[in-house]
Chain A
Amino acid sequence: MSASLTRVQFLLLMFVVQTGTVFILFQRPFIEIAKRDAWVIFIAASFIHYLLLILYERNYQFFKLTKITTLLYVGYWLFVSFTSIAFIDYTLAEWAFPKTPQFIVILLMVIVSLYGNLCRDEVIVNLGAILIPIMLLFILFLIMALDYAEWSYLFPIGEASITEWGKSMLKIQFPFIGIELYLVYRGYVVKHQTMKGLPIFIYQLIWLSFFLFTIMITIAFFPMKEIESISEPIMYILKSQQVSFVERLDLFFIYIWMVWGIITITIFSFTAIFTFRKQYSITSKKPIYIYHFLLCMLPLLGLSKQSVEQLQNILLYTHIVFVYVLPFIIILQNRRQVG
């Protein structure tokens, strides 16, 4: 990558990637298992996230990919991207475009990513900046639902069994997806800007507050039995808001979410292509076209509700390999070689 990142650019990129497609998807499956303990479990899980960030910060210079591990990560990021596209496409078909052929919506998303990847690196790095006002709008819309929140729904806590804690810890991995990009991009942050200490802590707080708020508002807005019957509770909260400027706030929001999702997919695609081209010293643009061709075709294999859910379940397990296991092995191996 020709560009170097400032600390803010880097953390914004991380936040976009980590929130992107998952921020409306994970609440229901997670709360379904963890019930009212969901918000407590999330706070506990956030310590793992913080620990990961600290470990990544200490060892990012040892995260050097080989040709094989590069291929594995490219495959993983492709998988994350097309699973996200399949989920966005399915959700859009449910909420906004039931009659629009689904491949058209996929094409729309992939073309934006393709265009972004054909541009200069700086375009991708700064793409997240256009989301800042949109993120604030999204939070504002959710705050409007606070009037209807029933805070007694958040209690009692401490009722989840050990098995439920275990299962919840798996489901709560959705907001962790993309954290491995810290290892990829950390080396490009300008040298005089440190990440240790306060910057990482602030990022952790922002990440925690954002997701915890979406979990708590979901629990406080719906009775537990209602959450189980709604696939995207955040969308539903927005649907039930009445505003004077738009008939359906959820539709307004779904376009926001689509833009957020497309930018996330563009960053994942960029990461995969850039890592691949760097590792294999390829300067031609052929990998960009091939990657996006695959990105267009693969989601078509799983556009039903069942397929989307299956893909997401598989994604959780593969995520564990690529965020916990592989980085640990790669870092350990490289540390030994240096030692």
Chain B
Amino acid sequence: MKKWILLVLLLPVLTACWDEVLYKDITIVPLIGLEGEQNDMKMFFSYPSIDDEQVEYNVTTAKGTSIRTARNQAYLHSEEMLDISQVETFLLAEETAKEDLYKYIDPIYRVPRNRLNGHLILVKGSLEQYFSEDMKFSEALPDFYKGALETAIKFSNVPDLNFQNAIRMYFDEGQDLALPVMEFSEELKTPKISGVGLFSGRRLTSQYLNIEQSKVLVLLNKTASSKFLQFEYEWEKGDEKYPLVIELVSKKEKTKIKGQKIDHQIELNVAIEEFPDDHLSNQEKVNEINEFLSKKITQDFQEVIDILQKSKSDAVGYGKKVRAFHSNLWEQGEWHNTFSELDIKMDVKVKIVRTGLLG
């Protein structure tokens, strides 16, 4: 009897032993791709395998009605037990993203053991070429995509949206999602980040922002990082043209919403990174450049806002403020329609606060 009691008392010590998952039993998939429509999806899995003490990345594909079913199909012709709980990069075909995005993120979002710090990238064209073994990189395929995106995020070329932040924006009625886009460069024979794809509600629109415009979006979006944000312009002096590269130092902004009008005032403090014409110790010249940059940047910002309005995509998140503090405007109708008809005026004031070692 005592033995039985002891056995029962020891049982709880085994809690969680049933849930043990050993790395030797599974293969972590850091890169996945998805194309097609629901009920007819094609998934790509890039996973490591050890051959002669060297890690090599293989690619396998599978079809299914969902991510889970495709993965289960992949088991049938793969020697590995593919585990998608630690996906770092998820390539999604742009045609697929034109459907409700949530269907594809749900299995990543729902399961507690899945990591949420991976990133989504939209890709133009067939996914086959993005997983092709013919591409020659100095690193493994998953590392290339992860590295390319991380660099683009670091230099504020695209917004930093991991799965958690992306899904949050997806659910937010006051802000639309804008995801990084990759396209295949015929010149480089490799994929490259080319801008962001704009969502209106839960679907991808056919409008994109190029890298320069995407930087503006990063700057306008308070949730995005703008640590190394640079803008490039040309300064004309007589017949000569000089590059003028500036880097953001700090930003102040104010949004005034009145009736159907939004006045967005931004003050940018910038540092001159490149300007061979020099003479920046001359205050008149500095004022002239400040004025030039203010005008140029206001134009660029206004252009981005116009694209957003045209595509009914509030990727800046004006809707959040409108919903919170301007209920009359919010309740006028569906926000995307209201947003597209607003009179949004950008006013950017640039001030050079650093000129580098040269004056």
The answer to whether A222 and B325 have CB atoms under 8 Å apart is: no
Do B17 and A94 touch across chains, with their CB atoms under 8 A apart? no
**B164 contacts A by Cβ under 8 Å:** yes
Interface hit among B7-15, B211-219, B258-266, B342-350? B7-15
B333 lies within 8 A of chain A by Cβ: no
Question: A152 touching B171 by the CB < 8 A rule?
Answer: no
Q: Which residue of B lies closest to A98 (CB)?
A: B19
Residue contact A97 to B15, C-beta cutoff 8 Å = yes
| Known pairs A152-B174, A226-B167, A226-B168; A94 contacts B112 (CB<8 A) | yes
What chain A residues lie within 8 Å of B168 (beta carbons)?
222-223, 226
Q: Digit string of B166-210 for contact with A (CB within 8 Å is 1, else 0)? A: 011001111000000000000000000000000000000000000
A156-B323, A222-B168 given; A99·B112 CB < 8 A: no
Residue contact A223 to B11, C-beta cutoff 8 Å: no
Q: Give CA–CA (A222, B113) in the complex, Å.
A: 20
Cβ of B76 under 8 Å from chain A? no
Are A223 and B18 neighbours in the complex by a CB distance under 8 Å? no
Q: State how many angstroms separate the Cβ of A67 from the closest Cβ of chain B.
A: 33
Binary flags per residue of B309-334, CB closer than 8 Å to A gives 1, else 0: 00000000000110111010000000
How near does chain A come to B180, taking the closest CB pair, in angstroms?
Answer: 19
Q: Which residues of A contact B19 (CB under 8 A)?
A: 96-100
CA distance A244 to B153 in the complex (A): 20
Q: Which residues of A contact B12 (CB under 8 A)?
A: 104-105, 107-108, 111
Are A96 and B173 neighbours in the complex by a CB distance under 8 Å? no
The reply on A248 being an interface residue by CB < 8 A is yes
- The answer to whether A100 and B15 touch (CB under 8 A), given A152-B320, A152-B321, is yes
Among B14, B113, B173, the one with the most A-chain Cβ atoms within 10 Å of its Cβ is: B113
With both chains docked as a complex, state the minimum distance between the C-beta of A4 and any C-beta of chain B, in angstroms: 33
A156 to B173, CA, bound (A): 14
Bound CA span A148–B19, Å: 31
Q: Which A201-260 residues have a C-beta within 8 angstroms of B? A: 222-226, 229, 239-240, 242, 248, 250
Q: Measured between alpha carbons, how far is A108 from B8 in the docked complex, in Å?
A: 10
Indicate whether A100 sits within 8 Å of B324 (C-beta atoms), given known contacts A94-B112, A239-B116. no
Residue of B nearest to A159 (CB): B327
Q: Is B357 an interface residue (CB 8 A)?
A: no
Measured between beta carbons, the chain B residues less than 8 angstroms from A324 are: none
**Is B117 part of the contact surface with A, judged by Cβ < 8 Å?**
yes
CB-based nearest B residue for A225? B171
A108 and B327 contact, Cβ closer than 8 Å, known pairs A150-B320, A239-B116: no
Is A47 part of the contact surface with B, judged by Cβ < 8 Å?
Answer: no
For the complex formed, measure the closest distance between the CB of A269 and the CB atoms of chain B, giving whole angstroms.
17
Quick check: is A95 within 8 A (CB to CB) of the other chain? yes
CA A97 – CA B15 in complex, angstroms? 8
Report the Cα distance A148→B166, complex, angstroms: 12
**Does residue A293 face the partner (Cβ distance < 8 Å to B)?**
no
Bound complex: CA of A283 vs CA of B323, how far in Å?
A: 63
**CB pair B15 A104 closer than 8 Å:** yes
A95 to B9, CA, bound (A): 24
- Rounded to whole angstroms, the CA-CA distance of A223 and B113 in the bound complex is 22
Q: Taking the complex as formed, is B1 at the interface, i.e. its CB lies under 8 A from any CB of chain A?
A: no
Q: Give bound CA distance, A210 to B167, whole Å.
A: 28
Q: Give which listed residue, B9, B16, B165, B323, contacts A111 with CB less than 8 A.
A: B9
Q: Separation in Å of the B201 CB from the closest CB of chain A?
A: 12
Chain A 161-189 interface 0/1 with B at a Cβ cutoff of 8 Å (1 = within)? 00000000000000000000000000000
Q: Are A225 and B173 in contact (CB under 8 A)?
A: yes
Q: How far is the CA of A107 from the CA of B174 in the complex (A)?
A: 47
Determine if A197 is an interface residue (Cβ-Cβ < 8 Å). Answer: no
B323 in complex: contacting residue of A94, A96, A152, A250, CB < 8 Å: A152
Chain A residues with CB under 8 Å of B320's CB are: 150, 152-153
Give A248 to B18 CA distance when docked, in angstroms: 19
* Interface 1/0 per residue, A129-155 and B, CB below 8 Å: 000000000000000000010101111
Q: Which of B11, B172, B323 contacts A107 (CB 8 A)?
A: B11
A101, CB-defined interface residue at 8 Å: yes
* Contact A156/B325 with A95-B112, A239-B112 known, Cβ cut-off 8 Å: yes
Residue of B nearest to A155 (CB): B324
Q: How far is the CA of A105 from the CA of B12 in the complex (A)?
A: 6
Complex interface: chain B residues within 8 A of A156 (CB): 323-325, 327
Known: A95-B112, A222-B171, A223-B173. Contact between A108 and B15, CB under 8 A? yes
B112 touches A104 (CB 8 A): no
Residues of B215-274 contacting chain A, CB below 8 A = 223
Q: How far, in angstroms, from A155 to B174 measured CA to CA in the complex? A: 12
User: A94, A150, A156, A239: which has the most chain B beta carbons within 10 Å?
Assistant: A150
Q: A223-B171, A226-B168, A239-B112 are in contact. Are A99 and B18 (CB under 8 A)?
A: yes
Shortest A111–chain B CB gap in Å is 6
B189 to chain A, nearest CB (A): 35
Residue of A nearest to B322 (CB): A152
CB distance from B4 to the nearest CB of A (A): 14
Contact of A100 among B17, B112, B113, B172 (CB under 8 A): B17
A214–B83 CA distance with the chains assembled, in angstroms: 33
Q: Are B15 and A105 in contact (CB under 8 A)?
A: yes
- Are B171 and A97 touching (Cβ within 8 A)? no
Closest to A255 in B: B16
Chain B 108-125: CB-based contact to A (< 8 A → 1; otherwise 0): 000011001100000000
Report A-chain residues with C-beta under 8 Å of the C-beta of B15: 97, 100, 104-105, 108
- 0/1 per residue, A98-119, Cβ < 8 Å to B? 1111001101100100000000
List, sorted by A's number, 23 A–B pairs whose CB atoms are closer than 8 Å: A94-B112, A97-B18, A100-B17, A100-B19, A104-B11, A107-B8, A108-B12, A108-B15, A150-B223, A152-B321, A152-B323, A152-B324, A154-B324, A156-B323, A156-B324, A156-B327, A222-B168, A222-B171, A226-B168, A240-B116, A240-B164, A248-B113, A250-B112
4 other A-B residue contacts (CB within 8 Å) besides A100-B16, A104-B11, A223-B168: A97-B19, A98-B19, A108-B15, A155-B324
In the complex, the 4 A-B pairs of residues with the closest C-beta atoms, listed nearest first: A108-B12, A155-B324, A226-B171, A99-B18
